[in-house]
Amino acid sequence: MTRLSVNINKIALLRNARGSNFPDLVQVAKDCETFGAEGITVHPRPDERHIRYDDIPKLKDIVNTEFNIEGNPTPRFLEMVLKYRPHQCTLVPDDPQALTSDSGWDTIKHESFLTDVIAQLQEAGIRVSIFCDPEAKYVEGAKKTGTDRIELYTGPYAEAFPHAPQQAVAPYTEAALLANQLQLGINAGHDLNLDNLRFFNQEVPGLLEVSIGHALFVDAIYYGLHNTIQMYLRCLEKV
């Protein structure tokens, strides 16, 4: 079964809107695990508009499943990750001003940089995943960096899925088959939801983990957090 890591950035964004600790980010992380989440993901950005750097040690202390920190590997970010040593670090090439992540790494252009960063993280005992578009050249480039996993950027899949699901998923199936051949682990994330997740999971061989935040918490408004996490887990059951 593919693992579900819940991205709690949106809870932090809601908390920050009122300048207090309500909702309590740590308690929500605990509850997500109690309700079935198999990991907790956070993505601190330079402006700390949702997850703040001082949230990291508090979460590290209480996450009992898998703690995944993702972000652009700036010096400050790397210093924090190496200090708190999550189970996994996902490297994302997002611009500091970006509303959300919108592309994978050019693993050819940035091979040397990624190789150095990945080596530092692995030396500290941290599993590394890098955000990757579903193109053979970038998957092959990822292998050369020494990364443990790739995280397939699923924004284009989610956009095309309502109109042409088989066409939308085809590049991801091909990328996954290549990654399996190269012995790269496969994660995925971005705009996956209750409508498109089951199909993606069935069509992408070797998918190990998905990270979902925005859609999950939108659904939780209507269905409740416990029920929503269970709904997402059912989408990840292998037939």
Q: Which of 33, 38, 66, 70 is catalytic?
A: 70
Instruction: Find residue 187's DSSP bridge partners.
Output: 151, 209
- Distance of alpha carbon 19 from alpha carbon 114, whole angstroms: 36
Contact 139, 175 (CB under 8 A): yes
Neighbours of 56 (CB within 10 A): 19
**Is 163 noted as a catalytic residue in this protein?**
no
Contact 230, 35 (CB under 8 A): yes
Instruction: Find residue 27's DSSP bridge partners.
Output: none
**Is 110 noted as a catalytic residue in this protein?**
no
Task: Provide the b/e sequence for 69-82 (b: ≥16 CB within 10 Å).
Answer: bbbbbeeebbebbe
Contact 215, 194 (CB under 8 A): yes
Contact 88, 67 (CB under 8 A): yes
Q: Which of 38, 50, 151, 190 is catalytic?
A: 190
**Is 190 noted as a catalytic residue in this protein?**
yes
109: left (phi over 0), alpha (psi -120 to 50) or beta: alpha
Amino acid 121 reads L
Q: Which of 43, 66, 151, 209 is catalytic?
A: 43
Contact 36, 4 (CB under 8 A): yes
Query: Which residues participate in catalysis according to the annotation?
Result: 43, 70, 190
